[in-house]
Structures are given as C-alpha cells and as structure tokens.
C-alpha cells in the first residue's frame, strides 16, 4: 500500500476587500510515516530552540516572527516535497466572493486542485504508481477551511482522483488519474498541536510575501510545485 501525507495551511484573506490581492495555500508532502516523523522531529527541534532564545510561549506564527526566524524555520524543510497555490483575488468572480459559504466552497475547490496537481506530478515523475493502491492522508489547519465541509471535501477529492469529474459549463470530462484502490482521509488539525501544519504556515507566509513583493526567487525550492488560479 502506497501512502502520501499532505499538510496545508493558508496565508492572506480571500475577500473582495483584502489588503493584498493574493491568497495562498501551501504545504508539504511525505511518502510514508517514517519520513513524516523525521521531518516533524527536525522542525520541532528548531522551534524549541527559537522559543528558548526568544523566551516565547505558544506557537511560532509567521505573522509575528522576525524575518530571520521565519527563514530559519523555512530552511528546515526546504528540501522536502512542497507545494503552493496562489489565487489572484482580483480575477475571482464576484459571485464567489459574495458570501462566506461560496468562499469556503471555493477554498475547498482550489485546495482540491492543488492536491490533484501534486499527486499527478508524483505519478508523472514515477514516484507513485497509479495502478497500485494508495492511502492519502490530508491534514489542513482547522482555521483554513470550513469544518462543516469535511465530508464534501473528502468525497470530492476521492471523486476527482478516482472517478474523474464533468465540467458541465464547458462540456468537458476530466479523466481520473488514479486507477488502483484509493482511500482518502481528511483531518482538520489545531496548528498548536501539529508541527507540520506550523511548517506549512511558515511556507504559506513565504509564498504570500513572494507575490506581495514580486520576488519569484522566494519560490525557488528544489522539490516545489506551484499552481496559479483562477
């Protein structure tokens, strides 16, 4: 059984009157529990050292850290498989931004696109065999999406990967990319208790900053992929 663990957090505000025109999802991918745990231990060690040096209690959030501390945390997992997605809010349809429910649905949609993009990339690189069996674990910061969309999101990821999906507006069918058995498990995590969600927060903030100041070099990572929407 193949396994993939995905961790996500967001940065920015998906709102018509957002102070910055970009909204970002970002995160890390691991192929087994062992590699995930090794990454967590490395990141936790640096977090503990910074907290001790700075005499900080609680979570190290990107929005309150100095630039050098954020870079030190980012550097821990720089060489891991990572992914990012940016939404140019100025190009999002007004109807999507009209109410909270449609915004939450759109956030789930773009996150699903990011999941599919990364899994497809792994298939194309020969890192996953789409004819085999896969257990896909997705962990999202509980503040990053609507928890009442849990089952819909889990099922929609499965449907997109395993059965494909029709776009009735354009009369297009997107073929499935996974042909073996597939299990999808989505969990919404408290970032205070999850170091890989915390790492995703640091990465998301870095990507958001890169778009804000127009510095593509900040997105130059060895095993990183980036998707832009809409």
| Beta strand ranges found along 31-151 (DSSP E) | 81-88, 134-141
How far apart are alpha carbons 179 and 103 in whole angstroms?
Answer: 31
3-class state of residue 216 by DSSP: helix
Topology (CATH level 3) of domain 2-229 = Nucleotidyltransferase; domain 5 (3.30.420)
Per-residue pLDDT of the chain (230 residues; tens, 9 = 90+): 999 999 999 999 888 877 789 999 999 999 999 999 999 999 999 999 999 988 888 888 888 888 999 999 999 999 999 999 999 998 998 888 888 888 888 999 999 999 999 999 999 999 999 999 999 999 998 865 544 444 588 999 999 999 988 665 556 777 899 999 999 999 998 888 899 999 999 999 999 999 999 999 999 999 999 999 98
3-state secondary structure 60-80: CCHHHCCHHHHHHHHHHCCCC
Q: What is the rounded (10 degree) CA torsion for 220, 227, 25, 12?
A: 90
Indicate the pTM of the whole model.
0.91
Number of other CB atoms surrounding residue 42 within 10 Å: 15
Q: Measured between alpha carbons, how far is residue 7 from residues 102, 133, 136, 141, 189 in Å?
A: 23, 20, 11, 8, 10
Cβ atoms of 229 and 87 closer than 8 Å: yes
């Amino acid at each position: 059984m193949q396994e993939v663990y995905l961790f996500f957090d967001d940065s920015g505000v998906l709102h018509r009157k957002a102070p910055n025109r970009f909204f970002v999802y970002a995160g890390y991918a691991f192929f087994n529990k062992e590699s995930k745990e090794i990454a967590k231990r490395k990141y936790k060690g640096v977090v503990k050292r910074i907290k001790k040096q700075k005499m900080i209690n609680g979570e190290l959030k990107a929005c309150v850290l100095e630039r050098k501390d954020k870079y030190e945390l980012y550097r821990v997992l720089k060489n891991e498989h990572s992914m990012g997605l940016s939404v140019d809010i100025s190009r999002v349809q007004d109807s999507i931004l009209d109410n909270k429910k449609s915004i939450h649905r759109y956030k789930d949609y773009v996150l699903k696109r990011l999941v599919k993009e990364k899994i497809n990339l792994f298939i194309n690189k020969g890192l996953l065999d789409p004819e085999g069996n896969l257990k896909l674990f997705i962990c999202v910061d509980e503040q990053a999406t609507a928890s009442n969309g849990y089952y819909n999101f889990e099922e929609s990821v499965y449907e997109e990967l395993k059965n494909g999906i029709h776009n009735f507006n354009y009369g297009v069918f997107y073929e499935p990319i996974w042909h073996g058995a597939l299990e999808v498990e989505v969990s919404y995590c408290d970032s205070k208790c999850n170091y890989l969600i915390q790492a995703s927060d640091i990465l998301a903030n870095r990507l958001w900053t890169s778009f804000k100041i127009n510095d593509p070099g900040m997105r130059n990572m060895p095993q990183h992929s980036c998707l832009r929407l809409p």
